[in-house]
A = this chain, B = another copy of it.
């Protein structure tokens, strides 16, 4: 078990070692470790070596000039200058917060960025200001649209954080696929098979072997099968891709640069880097905060009391599980797999740090 602050300090030191400013490094470390705190282990410190490899391949600019390239009172387009998405995301949310204070809501499409960690972090960033936060991103092509055997979309997550009153905030954060790619990696480590509806092989047949993805297979959109509405998952992934990629001038669809540095970046990109889309909506641009929060409490309390199928499994509010995990891990520390520990020790050696 590792205290989360120790992991944050280590990540911050690594980000400084690749050339980030102390401020940026701390921010990136906070976003990364937030994933571990929330139990999204696939997006936390386990990814640190991936970011380092991208930097080694010249694909991460540690001192980006993050700049506004176009704006109106409620919109902004940002060029991330190939910086860490972990740094670009929170900085954009802070810009949106200011703009939403002025005109009620604000929306950003971002190009020339990299992987931004968990979408939920960015959406939650405006909760203290009593705003609804929204974050989405396109990602490495791993997902086949309905009726296709070709990987055309990323897992393209959507996050929305909505403040409540006495109740904790509603925080939805989910890939627009049946499962996140991280779950396939977990199956692989545990030498288990995937259930129906997660992956297909290179010919488009239902597959169960986690290695199928490395052999040209694909993840399936949310809905899994055409008769269960997989075209709706495809629509959602496509909407995220267009808002993040096409609206900003980033790459989109199969052109999105892969996170893993051993896969080649397209020779003929259609845009710059990968793209994100963010939003911030002031609650009191719609209704009094008090009335809204009171109704959110009623919403949450009523849904929590919805009759369960099995008494042992009560109905969850989006964000419940992650909040429990955060509390537990802030107290007891964050567990790391041996493979991740070894990975972090290698990075420590590389940069003459201690882990």
Chain A interface residues (CB < 8 Å from chain B): 70, 72-75, 77, 102-107, 109, 144-150, 152, 160, 162, 170, 172, 174-179, 195-198, 203-204, 222-225, 227-229, 231-236, 238-239, 241-242, 246-249, 252-254, 270-271, 281-283, 285-287, 291-292, 295-296, 298-299, 302-303, 306-310, 313-316, 318
User: Measured between C-beta atoms, what is the minimum distance from A217 to chain B in Å?
Assistant: 12
Q: Which of B102, B302, B313 sits near A253, CB closer than 8 Å? A: B302
Contact (A247, B286) CB under 8 Å given A73-B74, A103-B103, A309-B204: yes
User: Measured between C-beta atoms, what is the minimum distance from A14 to chain B in Å?
Assistant: 33
Compute how far the CA of A147 lies from the CA of B311 in the bound complex, rounded to whole angstroms. 9
- In the complex, the answer to whether B270 meets A147 with C-beta atoms within 8 Å is no
Compute how far the CA of A270 lies from the CA of B316 in the bound complex, rounded to whole angstroms. 21
- How many copies altogether? 2
Compute how far the CA of A107 lies from the CA of B286 in the bound complex, rounded to whole angstroms. 9
A-B contact pairs, 26 of them (CB 8 A): A70-B285, A72-B285, A73-B104, A74-B106, A75-B104, A75-B105, A75-B285, A146-B315, A147-B314, A147-B315, A148-B307, A148-B308, A150-B307, A152-B303, A152-B306, A172-B239, A174-B229, A178-B229, A195-B228, A224-B224, A224-B229, A228-B228, A238-B318, A241-B299, A247-B283, A248-B286
Compute how far the CA of A249 lies from the CA of B294 in the bound complex, rounded to whole angstroms. 11
Q: Which of B177, B271, B286 sits near A295, CB closer than 8 Å? A: B271
Chain B residues contacting A72 (CB-CB under 8 Å) are 103-105, 282, 285
User: Measured between C-beta atoms, what is the minimum distance from A323 to chain B in Å?
Assistant: 15
Interface-centre pick from A176, A309, A313 (highest chain B CB count, 10 A): A309
- In the complex, the answer to whether A315 meets B148 with C-beta atoms within 8 Å is yes
In the complex, the chain B residue whose C-beta lies closest to that of A281 is B107
- In the complex, the answer to whether B233 meets A222 with C-beta atoms within 8 Å is yes
